[in-house]
Amino acid sequence: MNRKETKRSDTHSPAARKPSWRIPIRWHWAMLVGGAVLASVLVLLMIILDLERHAWLDSQARQAEVQVDRLADELKIPLLAGSAEADLIIKSFLDKVPAVLTIRLKLPGGMYEDFGQKTSKEELPDLDALPKDAVVKLAGEHLWFGKRIVYAGTPIGSVAVRFSEKQWHELVAELVTRILLASAAVILLSGILVFWLAGRMSRPLERLAQAAKRVAAGDYTVQLPVSGYNEIADATRQFNDMVKELAHKEELRNVFGRYLNPKLVSEVFDGDGRQLEGFQRDVTVLFADMVGFTSFAEATRTEQVIEVLNAHFGVFHRIIDHFDGHVDKYIGDAVMAVFNHPRDDKEHARHAAMAALAMVEACNRLRRPRPDGGRVQFRMGLNCGEVIVGNIGADERLQYTVIGNAVNVASRVCNLGDGGQVIVPLATFERMGPGFAFDPIGDRLIKGVSEPLRCGMIRAMAADVRERIDEAVNAAFDTRATIAQGADA
């Protein structure tokens, strides 16, 4: 899986998965402003109703004071005379004043008479504690106003009048209707305005989100238009700068990937650097060296020498990579590869052997001629052992490579063979597993090794080994042909 595919899979991971539904920002703003306006209208409505209630009660109290006071004056004489004229006066009052619902009269003897709309005993007021010569509002849920009837300074009775609140309820209904209609119009207009403004604000954010999704998928060509001088425009500019930096970083990654193993490049760009600290590792080192390079270079044009080396190294690189190896470096006409680093490979000796034999077969297929009439050939050398992996060089220029005696032995056994031969120490052959033959070439003294090493040439014997070698060579040449066609196009 390549890097872009990895990014795409990450965006669909459970942690990154987003819900299938969402509420756009414009709807958030419209609902927020609408809710704020509605809440404000309700608060204002309560305040207005409270003020109107007090004003209406004050008006009602003034009217009640006049009417109750007049009724009390008219009842003085009939109450003193004890005549039935008081009942007629009260009934006439009820007919003339429609707002009056009930009248309660306390007679001189302490008896009560009720007129008008029937009222439960719990709702009837107590008239014993009324002040002298003053119309007062009585305590209770309803609008009762009462006055003590006094003649010549002597109380002779009391009267209480209940007024209807129908006018107030009608006023409340009219106020609420008008305010709600006005608030609905305000909410509608403000909602449309906010929806439009929020839409203008959210569209750049939506474009930013879509662009971020494309960048997460590996598209670093995204650039968004910037307009205005607000926070969204600043965020868009910074996003464009970020994408440019990511594109530059990806370009550097690709450039370095041509010189280093892509996994190492990823560790440098994505990691914290701890992976590149020095450590020891058991690896298999492969050296491939061109036979007779000096004479070939002297008799061949420079550009042709480079073309021949690149043709072989390109195929070698793909074969090594096919067997999970890593091209550590190119040294003039030689290539050095390492197996079991940086990718883990328990069968690194076996894979290195198949890679070396596949490289020999690749040379046979390339059949590049030499000026002396022969063909370009490479000799191979393999060796397994412990090496030191780390940054080697000066502070100004480092090379991440492997060093150690195992590397030196691989280089020197490579020089023991002829073109088309793969030379290995016996200890390395024993780690390759079945399917190979070992043709001894004798014990050889290797510089840096105290005891002579028994070395030999290896060959592929098992059918499955030859099949894997052919598969790697075919894949390398198919890729080479594809690259050549792309370059021609």
Listed ranges 215-229, 262-276, 364-378, 469-483; the one with the highest mean pLDDT: 364-378
pLDDT for 80 beyond 50: yes
Instruction: Name, in order, each residue with C-beta under 8 angstroms of 70's C-beta and a sequence gap of 6 or more.
Output: none
Contact in structure between 312 and 376 (CB atoms under 8 Å): yes
pLDDT for 468 beyond 80: yes
Phi then psi for 116, rounded to 5 degrees? Answer: 90, -145
Percentage of residues in the chain having pLDDT higher than 90: 31
Listed ranges 47-56, 146-155, 370-379, 429-438; the one with the highest mean pLDDT: 429-438
pLDDT for 397 beyond 50: yes
Mean pLDDT in residue range 74-85: 82
Between CA 152 and CA 178 the distance in angstroms is 52
Per-residue confidence (pLDDT) for residue 285, from 0 to 100: 96
pLDDT for 18 beyond 70: no
pLDDT digits (tens, 9 = 90+) for 278-328: 789 999 999 999 999 999 999 999 999 999 999 999 999 999 999 999 998
Average model confidence (pLDDT) for the chain?
Answer: 83
Mean pLDDT in residue range 45-71: 88
Question: In the structure, what pLDDT confidence band is assigned to residue 267 with cuts at 50, 70 and 90?
Answer: low
Listed ranges 21-25, 153-157, 270-274, 472-476; the one with the highest mean pLDDT: 472-476
pLDDT digits (tens, 9 = 90+) for 95-134: 988 888 898 888 887 888 889 888 787 777 878 777 777 8
Per-residue confidence (pLDDT) for residue 44, from 0 to 100: 87
Q: What is the dihedral of CA 333, 339, 343, 346, to 10 degrees?
A: 170
pLDDT for 9 beyond 50: no
Domains annotated for the chain, with CATH where assigned, are: 41-169 (3.30.450), 274-488 (3.30.70.1230)
Question: In the structure, what pLDDT confidence band is assigned to residue 6 with cuts at 50, 70 and 90?
Answer: very low
pTM of the complete model beyond 0.85: no
Per-residue confidence (pLDDT) for residue 129, from 0 to 100: 73
Mean pLDDT in residue range 350-359: 96
The tokens for 143 are 């609008």
pLDDT for 466 beyond 50: yes
Report cis status (omega within 30 of 0) of the bond before 342: yes
Length of the chain: 489
Q: Out of 21-35, 247-261, 359-373, pick the least confident.
A: 247-261
Mean pLDDT in residue range 198-222: 81
Query: Which has more pLDDT, 261 or 230?
Result: 230
